[in-house]
């Protein structure tokens, strides 16, 4: 388990990891309320986070450890297509700007903790709310598991193998999340983001200098992709891949703030202005993401070879840790590894809390214990957060990590199917509740069918093509499968969402004609504009000492 370990890297990594974990336990006393036995406090941090805390919290939540290893890995393997993450994290903030402040207002008036709470009140349908809750939990689970991929890649680069270190890391994570709730990742996010910024700024200065400059880096990347038999690889995006790139970026942007963990960070904000300032400032993270993506080209120029896993496959997720290990002195490589490892703790904690809140509010309280007290709700969420983490850990230990990545891909497609009920529901109640359910079913069916048809192909040097996976091999659905005479592909989630919206619209028209009963809307138009000082806002459980 510890063969050929770089002791300096491991020592620095361990010291920082332990220090941050201790900070997670201390967080229970940070901005201490009278009690943590309430979802407003344990699950939403008292709903009182200001601009700086929210900026670090949401940034630490959205830009995960997997992002820091997977985006450069995709650029390393395929080139320009890997940069799709940059435009989608830019366009997302204007898209969600007005949506999120409306959600914040109505949620604070009614005490909503989850997006499914809002759906239940807005559309008057417990079934639709249940579907939204289940969708959120299912989409989040593999996302939590993938944070382990980032930690695992770092451990491999240091020479540490086996599952015990990962189990220990997630046990510590589970303990301080149970103890401190959302305050733990909020406090740790300051450290995580500071380390990430330092590491990336140093990397884009030091590594290009050592490699001979950007001309050498891009030259090496261009030479590699010119020699690649895959026509889609390249420093410049190939024509047939442009539609997939655009729809993938747009679809990912629409999905990002539908994830329950993203909404959790927003609902924890103090007022509408905090959200507005953050939507304006968060694109700074996109700048860092663009620099991160360039690490893929740097790894090509540095001649980095990915570590081969137990199945004999090259693990491209290891290229960034290996690059840091080769280019930095051991002590700073340890700092960089700690930044990636800690980068897994923040989103994993928030994701598990968000999934646990969905379970408690929209399944446990709705169907199992309608008279649950706030203390019982908090206890249910704490226990559920442990179960979610254990499930994610078992998934990554039992399954091929590549399969978990495919599950996350599917997760992004299915979370998109909540857009009509949640995002559009914040602006209109025109869609009938039964049509929204039918649209959800249609979107799920199309999403499953399209991803099932996608093959993962290997382009050989002799011009032949080997099918590596028959099904669930990516996110780009070939338009030729629909009868179009083209080699272009489109993001499968985009097609699924279109099917969802069409069914919602047609179904609503039919149900209006048949005068099918509509649910009761428990929200009022002016509640979507309520702010911090509005007397209608519900008091939270805890009071600051």
Q: What is the DSSP string of 123-190?
A: H--HHHHHHHHHHHHHHHHHHHHHHHHHHHHHHHHHT--SSHHHHHHHHHHHHHHHHHTTHHHHHHHH
Provide the pairing of β-strand 465-469 with 456-459: antiparallel
Domain 7-430 belongs in CATH node 1.20.1730.10: yes
What backbone phi and psi angles, to 5 degrees, belong to 6? -80, 105
Output the tens digit of pLDDT for each of the chain's 545 residues.
556 788 899 999 999 989 988 988 888 777 777 777 888 889 988 888 988 888 888 887 777 777 788 889 889 988 998 888 888 888 888 878 778 899 999 999 999 999 999 999 999 999 999 999 999 998 888 888 888 888 888 888 898 877 788 888 888 888 889 988 999 998 898 888 889 889 999 999 999 999 999 999 999 999 999 988 888 888 988 878 889 899 988 998 898 889 999 999 899 998 899 998 888 888 888 888 888 899 999 999 999 999 887 667 777 888 999 999 999 999 999 999 999 888 888 888 999 999 999 999 999 999 999 999 999 999 999 999 999 888 877 777 666 655 555 666 778 898 999 999 999 999 999 999 999 999 999 999 999 999 988 887 777 776 777 777 788 777 889 998 888 888 889 999 999 999 999 999 999 999 999 999 888 999 999 999 988 777 777 666 533 32
Tokens of 67: 């992002």
| Residues listed for the chain | 545
List alpha helices for 282-329, DSSP H: 283-301, 319-327
Span 156-167, pLDDT tens digits: 889 887 778 888
Look at residues 326, 278, 383, 386 and name the one whose alpha carbon lies nearest to residue 53: 278
Asked if 206 and 336 count as a contact pair (C-beta separation under 8 A), the reply is no
In angstroms, the CA 125 to CA 110 distance is: 16
DSSP string, 344-411: HHHHHHHHHHHHHHHHIIIIIIIII-TT--HHHHHHHHHHHHHHHHHHHHHHHHHS-HHHHHHHHHHH
What backbone phi and psi angles, to 5 degrees, belong to 45? 60, 25
pLDDT attached to residue 2: 57
pLDDT attached to residue 308: 83
Around 372, how many Cα atoms within 13 Å sit in the side-chain half-sphere? Answer: 22
- pTM assigned to the model: 0.92
Asked if 75 and 290 count as a contact pair (C-beta separation under 8 A), the reply is no
Asked if 103 and 275 count as a contact pair (C-beta separation under 8 A), the reply is no
Asked if 141 and 388 count as a contact pair (C-beta separation under 8 A), the reply is yes
Asked if 519 and 125 count as a contact pair (C-beta separation under 8 A), the reply is yes
Q: How many CB atoms lie within 10 A of CB 199?
A: 24
Look at residues 190, 172, 241 and name the one whose alpha carbon lies nearest to residue 22: 172
Tokens of 302: 């540095």
In angstroms, the CA 169 to CA 389 distance is: 11
Look at residues 301, 292, 304, 86 and name the one whose alpha carbon lies nearest to residue 215: 301
Distance of alpha carbon 195 from the chain centroid? 20
In angstroms, the CA 422 to CA 530 distance is: 18
The residues, ordered by sequence, that sit 6+ positions from 472 with a Cβ below 8 Å of its Cβ are 406, 409, 410, 451, 452, 454
For the chain, which residues make up each domain, given as ranges?
Answer: 7-430
Residue labelled with tokens 């996010």: 189
Q: How many CB atoms lie within 10 A of CB 484?
A: 11
């Amino acid at each position: 388990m510890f063969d050929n370990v770089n002791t300096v890297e491991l020592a620095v990594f361990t010291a920082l990891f332990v220090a941050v974990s201790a900070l997670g336990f201390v967080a229970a006393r940070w901005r201490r309320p009278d009690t943590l036995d309430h979802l407003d406090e344990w699950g939403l941090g008292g709903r009182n986070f200001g601009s700086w805390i929210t900026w670090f919290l949401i940034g630490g939540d959205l830009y995960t450890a997997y992002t820091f290893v997977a985006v450069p890995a995709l650029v390393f393997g395929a080139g320009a297509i890997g940069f799709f993450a940059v435009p989608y994290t830019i366009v997302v903030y204007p898209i969600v700007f007005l949506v999120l402040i409306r959600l914040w207002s109505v949620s604070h008036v009614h005490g909503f903790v989850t997006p499914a709470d809002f759906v239940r009140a807005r559309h008057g349908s417990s079934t639709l709310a249940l579907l939204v809750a289940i969708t959120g939990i299912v989409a989040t689970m593999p996302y939590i598991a993938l944070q382990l991929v980032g930690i695992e890649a770092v451990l491999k680069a240091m020479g540490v193998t086996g599952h015990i270190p990962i189990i220990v890391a997630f046990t510590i994570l589970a303990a301080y999340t149970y103890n401190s709730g959302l305050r733990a990742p909020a406090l740790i996010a300051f450290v995580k983001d500071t380390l990430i910024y330092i590491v990336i700024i140093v990397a884009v200065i030091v590594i290009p200098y050592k490699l001979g400059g950007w001309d050498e880096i891009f030259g090496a990347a261009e030479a590699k992709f010119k020699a690649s038999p895959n026509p889609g690889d390249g420093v410049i995006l190939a024509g047939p891949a442009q539609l997939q790139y655009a729809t993938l970026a747009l679809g990912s942007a629409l999905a990002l703030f539908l994830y329950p963990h993203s909404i959790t960070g927003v609902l924890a904000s103090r007022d509408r202005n905090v959200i507005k300032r953050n939507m304006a400032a968060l694109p700074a993270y996109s700048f860092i993401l663009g620099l991160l993506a360039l690490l893929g080209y740097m790894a090509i120029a540095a001649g980095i070879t990915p570590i081969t896993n137990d199945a004999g496959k090259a693990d491209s997720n290891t290229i960034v840790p290996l690059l840091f290990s080769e280019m930095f002195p051991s002590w700073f490589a340890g700092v960089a590894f700690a930044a990636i490892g800690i980068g897994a703790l923040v989103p994993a904690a928030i994701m598990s809390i968000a999934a646990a809140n969905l379970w408690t509010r929209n399944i446990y309280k709705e169907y199992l214990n309608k008279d649950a007290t706030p203390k019982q709700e908090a206890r249910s969420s704490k226990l559920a957060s442990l179960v979610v983490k254990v499930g994610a850990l078992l998934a990554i230990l039992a399954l091929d990590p590549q399969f978990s990545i495919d599950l996350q891909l599917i997760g992004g497609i299915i979370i998109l199917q909540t857009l009509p009920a949640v995002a559009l529901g914040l602006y209109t109640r025109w869609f009938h509740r039964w049509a929204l359910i039918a649209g959800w079913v249609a979107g799920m069916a199309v999403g499953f069918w399209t991803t099932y048809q996608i093959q993962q192909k290997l382009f050989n040097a002799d011009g032949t093509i080997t099918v590596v996976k028959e099904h669930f091999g990516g996110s780009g659905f070939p338009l030729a499968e629909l009868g179009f005479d083209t080699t272009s592909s489109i993001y499968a989630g985009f097609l699924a969402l279109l099917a969802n919206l069409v069914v919602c619209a047609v179904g609503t028209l039919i149900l209006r004609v048949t005068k099918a009963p509509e649910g009761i809307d428990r929200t009022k138009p002016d509640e979507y504009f309520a702010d911090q000082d509005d007397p209608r806002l519900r008091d939270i459980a805890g009071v600051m000492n």
